[in-house]
Structure 1
Amino acid sequence: MAANAGEAAMLFDESRCAAAASARFSSWVLLDRMAYVADHTNATTHDRRRREIRFFAVEPLIIATHDQLVLLRAVIGPKNSCFYHEKYDFFIYRADSTNNWGAPSLQLLPHPGHSCFFVGVIHCDDGAAAADYIVAALRFDHKSGVYDLHRFHSKNVNWSTKALHPGPMEPSPGLTFFFHDTYKVITLGGGFMAWVDLWRGILLCNVLLDDPELHFIPLPPPLKADKELVGDARVFRDIAVVQGYIKFVEIQSYISDGWVAATWSRKITLDSWEGHWHKDCELHVSDISGSLPDLLGDEEATTPHLSLQSLCTGNPTISLHDYDVVYFLAKVHLRDNKSYVLAVNMRSKTLQGAACFGAERMVGMSFTYTQSRISHYLRNTPASKRRVAETRSQSWCEATRLRGKCQPTGSSSAKGMIILSAISAF
């Protein structure tokens, strides 16, 4: 498991590089949501029409992934452009364009004509080798009281809008009316895409249908019944699709007594969304066996304060591979530039893995990385042992900007490589 770009080489010694050289890519990774710009190339670089650009006002943000597709959002222009969401552009990066490992590609999507915050991407036939995909956003229209489903279809190369009537909805917990604040967009299979309010519930519909219907699934009750639903829910909760189930996790911190975490699951039944959540596991930090310094290695083992109970812990992230594993972000102090990612098996109550993670670009426990299966679709090409290890750990995915308006101005410029760095799952 490696840290941010520029740190991978420091984290791999020669013996580990040799082992990685013969190994395949991980089937999934924790992908840093904030991309950045640098002059670097490798086998995953899309080098068609390489351009020079002068500046990025906002670092590219990874909005969603589905199989080999990555949806990015970025804006290029003066610094104040970041305050105008209608100026953001969307890009689709495809790690391989065919089922026989075609070349990576980057596509600039037509602008939807308005701001889109909660956007997902899905293959049109649930096949990883499918050429066609749909990008979808769900926005509530306060004037009409309906949800507008905005869709971009790669086959038609345009955006369309469909008004969806949610029907009668029960009031949200603590409110006298239904309220939905999307934090995350996930795909459930069969064309279904879900917009998740991590405090309250899931709005979902089949985006492949001409006339989709909205469905709502409430989330399990909070671990603390008196928990006020405020702040960034991603610090405390996460949701993902794993092995045919919707998995949900929550962590709650108790200043005087460490933290408690629990997981729930719900089987996905595409023909009916009736059902209930099943509580899988619950544990207290004091229940976890395993030594954090031992897992981190000799360099960190000399640090005396690395006990699980003493760390600030949050940002639970559900493993896409191991059904019972949840990753947690941990820091000694909230303002530290170095953090740790902990792999905890919730069922066996063991610390299965740990690694350092560079936190220079994050504030406190802010939402930093997300799950992705993109690494499964990256090609393993002949390279030095060290380069293979770096590629395996970071899953470099680079692409050049294609907008003609972003030509260099002046003598100072940098190559517009959009780099996505990832933390290899362990």
Structure 2
Amino acid sequence: MNTTACARTTTGLPISVSLRLAAPPEGSRVCVQLPAGVKVRYIPIVVAVHGDSVLVQVAGIEVERCMSRSTTDHFIYNGGDAAADPPRPPSLCLLPPRSLTGGEESAGRRYLYSDATGLLRRGEGEFVVAELNMKDLSDGAELVLLRLHSAGRGEWSVKRPPISRYDYGKGGKLPSSWRNDTVIPFGDRLCWVDLSRGLLFSDVIHDSPGLRYVPLPVDPCFGRCRSLYRNVCATAAASGAIKFVNVFPHRCCGRGSALTMPTPSTPGR
């Protein structure tokens, strides 16, 4: 099966992206190819994934054979559907340059943080790319958005969404700090995860998206190895299910291992 799709960089260089698929538990790979002799400062990375679409970042592409001049490009690769009628081939779309000056965290930065950026696909050829930047929830958040329409058109914008808290009826304040561990597509929303604190849901498809904070249970043993003992994932997104897993070591601070977390019926709304 042909998985290769081609496009051009912002400077007109041809570029191709393809998939090398492997059955689980082996990992599949995304392959990026530029013309011979073209250098890049950094290894291309997968920033975000949703369904059969992948957001790829190619940073530091050499311009006019001078490494002091380089560009950073972002592409959305779609795997296509060979079984469709008619078959839909793979595609590769160059995103508009990320050039923003309106945000404190994003001013002058051309690249995206993979642990803070999510991709949401809607229908055929419509996408939302969203990066959440903040250090303290009480100081508010910066949401950098790109809404790409089916014609391949869109522009970046900066939002300052309000943050509310889903408190299970117990009340409480927003945490004093925040660290993005991962971003999860969830229905028509994106969910930013801080494994030690909680979840932030946002309806990024709306013109005025907000953020809804859902706290995670406190684990006294949760420390530096964040990703080893906790995880959050979306399963059966159509029915609104998000799974939270907390794994306890055999000896955990001499305390019990029972945690409970009520599940809000409509998180993020």
> What TM-score, normalized by structure 1, do the two folds share?
0.43
| Alignment of 1:93 onto 2:89 | no
Q: 1:247 aligns with which of 232, 243, 249?
A: 243
Which residue number in structure 1 is paired with residue 201 of structure 2?
A: 204
Q: Using the TM superposition, give the Cα deviation of residue 37 of structure 1 relative to its aligned residue in structure 2, in angstroms.
A: 5.4
Which residue number in structure 1 is paired with residue 48 of structure 2?
A: 64
Pair 1:77–1:235, CA change in 2 (3 A):
farther
Equivalent-residue separation in structure 2 for 1:148 and 1:197 (angstroms): 16
- SS of alignment partner, residue 143 of structure 2: strand
Which residue number in structure 1 is paired with residue 91 of structure 2?
A: 105
Equivalent-residue separation in structure 1 for 2:37 and 2:98 (angstroms): 24
Equivalent-residue separation in structure 2 for 1:72 and 1:33 (angstroms): 15
> RMSD of the TM alignment (CA)?
3.9
Q: Which amino acid aligns with 2:89?
A: A
Q: Deviations over 1:27-59 (max 9, x none)?
A: x95785985657xxxxxxxxxxx7335334322
1:239–1:248 CA contact under 8 A, matched in 2: yes
Q: Which runs of 5+ in 2 are unaligned?
A: 1-20, 63-69, 100-108, 166-170
Q: 2:184 aligns with which of 166, 183, 186?
A: 186
| Alignment of 1:116 onto 2:109 | no
Which residue number in structure 1 is paired with residue 67 of structure 2?
A: none
- SS of alignment partner, residue 133 of structure 2: strand
> Number of residues paired by the alignment?
213
Percent identical: 23
| Alignment of 1:214 onto 2:211 | yes
Q: Which amino acid aligns with 1:249?
A: V
Equivalent-residue separation in structure 2 for 1:262 and 1:59 (angstroms): 42
2:132–2:144 CA contact under 8 A, matched in 1: yes
Q: Using the TM superposition, give the Cα deviation of residue 251 of structure 1 relative to its aligned residue in structure 2, in angstroms.
A: 2.8
Q: Using the TM superposition, give the Cα deviation of residue 122 of structure 1 relative to its aligned residue in structure 2, in angstroms.
A: 0.9
> What TM-score, normalized by structure 2, do the two folds share?
0.64
1:34–1:59 CA contact under 8 A, matched in 2: no
Equivalent-residue separation in structure 1 for 2:207 and 2:157 (angstroms): 11
Equivalent-residue separation in structure 1 for 2:38 and 2:262 (angstroms): 48
Equivalent-residue separation in structure 2 for 1:166 and 1:60 (angstroms): 33
Q: 1:131 aligns with which of 125, 130, 134?
A: 125
Q: Using the TM superposition, give the Cα deviation of residue 141 of structure 1 relative to its aligned residue in structure 2, in angstroms.
A: 7.2
1:246–1:268 CA contact under 8 A, matched in 2: no
Pair 1:36–1:56, CA change in 2 (3 A):
farther
Q: Which amino acid aligns with 2:128?
A: I
1:150–1:162 CA contact under 8 A, matched in 2: yes
Q: Which amino acid aligns with 2:92?
A: L
Q: Which runs of 5+ in 1 are unaligned?
A: 1-24, 39-49, 79-85, 275-426
2:211–2:268 CA contact under 8 A, matched in 1: no
Q: Which amino acid aligns with 1:235?
A: L
Pair 1:209–1:171, CA change in 2 (3 A):
same
* Bigger helix share: 1
Equivalent-residue separation in structure 1 for 2:37 and 2:260 (angstroms): 46
Q: How does 1:5-44 map to 2 (within 5 A)?
A: 35=30
